[in-house]
Structure 1
């Protein structure tokens, strides 16, 4: 989007000013022509491979849990990949006006809401037919939470209060975490670009903001784990951090920080140069 469009947009957060050229340079760096293998249609093969691996891990975990305890790590992979992709997109097209924020959130709604609505209605219909009254009412309550993208908080609340949690739409918890991430992440990206107008450059500010968020979120997750074991004072229902956005945010942010570093060109140290082969070999072994 041109500078003229931004400055003339109603409700704009301000003209990019002297950083417009810098922003354009960042945008051109987001999609370099030859850095990653691509499939037909421009889809990145490495990202598709990670997604496939994550799906396999989760599916095998659910069907073979006693023998494959670590399969839930597929969800972690999904969070990191999602954080990486959405950050790369937002750096290339930073939302600097109310209209651009609305457009971003509107695209997310149009992409996810139709399919989610069909699944929720189908699950509610099956729950009404196949489960007793109390369980059906619980499923309806969780369906409402899932439709508002707060299912992770509903599950966490139930667990912390000793309720048995096995709603047919329990898998919506991870989608809820992602949607909450999509709600706040454009604001953080815009903050980095706004701060850079006075001092510094956007990617440096973004690295600092995202890095700080990783530290806070990971700290909350670690504290919750210790609190559940009784080693530190309890935070109440926030101790149950598996489903909590506050404790999962660091995984999405880790993908976001990776995107920032890629745009800065840090990744080139690992894919080019005399030491790259040794570094890749050790990473593969690990």
Structure 2
């Protein structure tokens, strides 16, 4: 009986902490999603993608809702375990994070159902297919990258809940992971130069070092990582690049880096920018 009362108090406490996240409007009239009332008239010609294949189109390798939900839940459990390894969460804290993750999962599938209903209702053809694609693409990206990024309910709940030493430990872990992932991104980008510039191993190491010293990780990792590092590299001056390469290779590397300037507007439209502590 005492345990039941304890769990009931823990559930209530977690619910109060998450109430602001759970009760805020998720997709309002000004959220950028097309309202059903504004949908064009249904077309008579055949489907671009049959409705029965819609799930596989969105979820890719997960194939269907059940598979995608299982994948999200697995990642949620892993995310909570990772926090627990560092912060030694209480049972109440684990419950809070679990509820936060479930909120994020439910939001995703509510959005998915809205898009699918819109697709079936409007039956887009080649002329207006781009409209539905603009709605489907974010769902695909989230399915591939994951739900629990920097702006997720899970992260917000952990930032609100964890205090003192627990929060300090978590921030250290997040920094280590962010730096590790960014180094991997930079190294992969520099390796691509083997196709256009015969860099030596020493030159590659120096170029990686220059990029790490003069650029910053993104506020969120995802499918646009390559666009981000290309734009970051375009901000480097010739003088800084010269620390890694010289001669004809300097011109080649510099000119290649400059091509990344064109991604500035796109990255801004996606809300992707260099990470800063005030983003937390």
TM-score, normalised on structure 2?
Answer: 0.31
Higher relative contact order (CA 8 A, sep 6+): 1
TM-score, normalised on structure 1?
Answer: 0.30
Pair member with larger Rg: 2
